[in-house]
Structure 1
Amino acid sequence: MQHKLAAKTLTFLLTTLWFIVIISSITTVGFGLFTLGVSISIKNIVGVSFFVIVHAIILKIIWELRKIIKSVLEKEPFVKENISGFNLIGILATFMAFLTLLRDVINIFIDYPKVNIIAYLGEGYQSRMGIFMFLILGCMAFVLSEIFSVAKTIKEENELTV
C-alpha cells in the first residue's frame, strides 16, 4: 500500500511540474520574443532557441515519467513501453547536456572573444555543473532501462515455467 501512496505522490508532483514547465515555457518564450523585438542578435536568437528546445525536452521527459508511473499504479511496470521510455529519457537527458555545452561554447565566443577563457569558466560554474547533472540523469535512465529489461526477461521466464 505504501508504494501506491508514493506512486500517487509522484503522479501529483509530475503533474504539478508539467503545469509549471508549461507556464515557464509561455513566459520564457514571450520574454524571449520581446527581447528579440528590442534587439535582434545572435545571442538572443540562441538563447530563445535554447529555452524553447529545453522546455520541449523537459515536457517530454515529464510525459514519459508520468506514463511509467501510471504503469506502476496498474501493477505492470516491466513492459516494453517503460524500457523504451527510460531509454528515451536517457537520450533526451544526454542531448540536454550537449545542448548546454553547445550554448556555453557559443556564449564564450559571443560574450568573451577578447577576454580570458578562465574568467568565463570561473563565473557561473552552476551552468557547467548542469552539463554533468544531465549526463548523470541520462546514465541513470539508461541503467533503469537495462534493469527493467532484465526484470522483464526474468518475469517472462517465470511466467513460462509456472
Structure 2
Amino acid sequence: MENERNIKRFIWTMAVVIPVAVALLFLIPPVENLPDDVKASLYILPKLNAIFNGIAFLSLIGAFVAIKNKNIKVHRAFTTTALILSMLFLVSYVAFHLTTESTKFGGEGWTRTVYFVILISHILLSTGIIPLVLFTYVRGLGMQVEKHRKIAKITWPIWLYVTATGVIVYWMISPYYPH
C-alpha cells in the first residue's frame, strides 16, 4: 500500500514538474556563447524529435495490434518502446529549447490557423497525457488488468494523437528553422 502511494505521488509530481519545466524554457533566454558549429548542429534535434514521435506512434499502433491478438509480451515491448521514445523526446526537446531561440511559424492564412490549432491541441494534450501514460503503464506492469484496460481506452488515443501531431508540427515549422 505504501509503495502504491509513493508511485501515485511520483506520477502526480511528474505531471506538475514536467509541464512547469517546459513552460519555463520559454521564459528564460537560451544559453549564450555557444560556438556557431554547435548552434548549427542543434537544429538536428527537432528532426530527431519528430523521429522519436514517429516511431512512438508506430509503437503505439503495434501495442494496440499486439493486445488485440492477446500477445501481452509484445504489447508490453511496444508500449515500453513508446514510453522510452517519449522520454527521449522530452530530453531532446528541453536541450533544444535551452540552447536555441524559438522559431516563429512563417505561414499565412489558413495554413497558419491549421498550424496553431494543431500546435495548441498538441501542447494541451501532451501536458494532460503525462499522468495518464504513467498510470496506464504502471497498472499494466503490475498486471492490474481491469484498471489498465479502463484507463488505456482513454490514454491510447490521446497518446497516439500527441505523437502524430508532434510529427505534423515539426513538418509544418521545419521550413522556418535557420539553416
Give TM-score, length-normalised by structure 1: 0.44
Decide which structure has the larger Cα Rg and report it: 1
Structure with more relative contact order (C-alpha pairs < 8 Å, separation 6 or more): 2
Give TM-score, length-normalised by structure 2: 0.40
Q: Which has the higher helix share?
A: 1
